Amino acid sequence: MTFTLTRPLLFGALAVLAVAALSVLAPPSPVEAQEDDGHSEQVQVRAQRQADGDIEFGLRTSEGNVLPRQRVFSARIDDERWRVSSPLELVNGTEVNIIARRDGDTQVEFGVRTVDPREEYFPSRRFFPRSTAVGRWLISTPVSIPAPEADDEQEQDDQPAPDTEDDTDSGDTDAEESSSEETEEADDHERISGGHRDGLIVVGDTVGDPNVPVLIVEYGDPF
């Protein structure tokens, strides 16, 4: 018995195949345009299958292709846990790892993880088919990795120190207050009111200030 696909069913099947094809890594091509804030670094994951079935991977950066020291996803891995490459430092100073995990029996999923803070970035094309020809490099779509955040302590050190009050001024104020108190104490004497001796200090029977070198002394002189 022969089945014939109608036109709507045929279009639907083709659309499913097209979406699946977009998810896998593509052959090397120029970096696709992405928004760049001037500090982000655009990277792409590269991968190839080796003769023993292991998958070697690396990064394409603005400085070219780079390979981490630990960069092989073993064909013997039979779980779907994430494996992490050794770190790579990008031009903008961010340290990253390539991450990979098995996705079923037919493909491996790749991504990029920043070390600090720990965040993961996944290209839209990030699945490597295990059926890829040996030695053929495939490459993901690009992802933008932000530059490291500025150190808050360093920013505070760079700010100018707040103005401080002049200690000399506060010292002068204290001195003026002390002098004023001393003057009030010195003037706390009985004085003559009226006559030709108006204003003269009287201490006991002594007319005049006893603290000055020359005293005017009169005894028994009524006021």
Q: Read out DSSP for the chain?
A: ------HHHHHHHHHHHHHHHHHB-B---PPPP----SS-EEEEEEEEE-TTS-EEEEEEETTEEE--SS-EE-TT--S---EEPPPEE-TTS-EEEEEEEEETTTEEEEEEEETTTTEEE--SS-EEETTSPBT--EEPPPEEEPPPPPPHHHHHHHSPPPP---HHHHHHHHHHHHHHHHHHHHT-SEE--SSTTTT-EEETTEES-TTSSS-EE-SS---
Written as tens digits, the pLDDT of the chain (223 aa) is 444 545 555 555 555 444 444 456 766 544 343 445 568 999 999 999 999 999 999 999 999 999 999 999 999 999 999 999 999 999 999 999 999 999 999 999 999 999 999 999 999 999 999 999 999 999 999 999 999 987 655 555 556 655 655 554 545 444 344 434 443 444 556 666 666 566 666 666 655 666 655 444 444 444 3
